Amino acid sequence: MAPETRDDIAATASDSRRRPRLAVYPGSFDPLTNGHVDIIQRGARLFDRIVIAILVNLDKSPLFSIDERVEIAREVFRDQPAVEVETFNGLLVDYAERRGADVIVRGLRAISDFEYEMQMALMNRHLRQSIETVFMMPDERYTYLSSRLAREVFALGGSISGLVPQVVEQRLRQKVGPVTPGVRT
């Protein structure tokens, strides 16, 4: 029988016998931005565990290697035991099912993200009806932010302070070296 009242719903939600809720947050994270961090931290409050699932995409030439992206994410979330970091390839729903995930978390920054994300969510539902997609919007400070934009601003010598975790900025400086504002190499 379905819960009828708010008290029934709260009791069901807090039932210690329920299966822990695992969410998967997929992406390339090249680099991890503060928009990603915001969604992951908020997702960790909604679910028992959240896995940052970094896509291994051999068709792309990323700035950071897959191992570097895993290291960065693990460093950023090292004090948050509910956050795990893994890599995957193939269909996201296959990976989520292997992990026992109930939910795929996707970020929506602007209306322009919605059409693509909706198509992906509907396809994932078609493939695995047991796995839900939850859309989360980042804090307003990050609605314009993307990994591509952070890379471009850095490459052009602009400040990315406050856009990416400090470790990302440090790793970019180590990888690319100092950048002269206004000079593109």
Q: Which domains are seen in the chain, by residue range? A: 22-176 (3.40.50.620)
Arithmetic mean of pLDDT over the chain: 89
Q: For 5-38, write each residue's pLDDT tens digit.
A: 555 544 555 555 666 799 999 999 999 999 999 9
Contact predicate 166/73, CB 8 Å = no
Helical ranges in 23-85 per DSSP H: 34-46, 66-76
- The token pair at 15 is 């039932």
Q: For 131-143, write each residue's pLDDT tens digit.
A: 999 999 999 999 9
pLDDT band at 57 (very low <50, low <70, confident <90, very high): confident
Q: For 106-121, write each residue's pLDDT tens digit.
A: 999 988 889 999 999 9
What residues are labeled active site? 36, 60, 109, 147
- pTM equals 0.85
Q: Is the pLDDT of residue 180 over 90?
A: no
Compute the average pLDDT of residues 148-176: 94
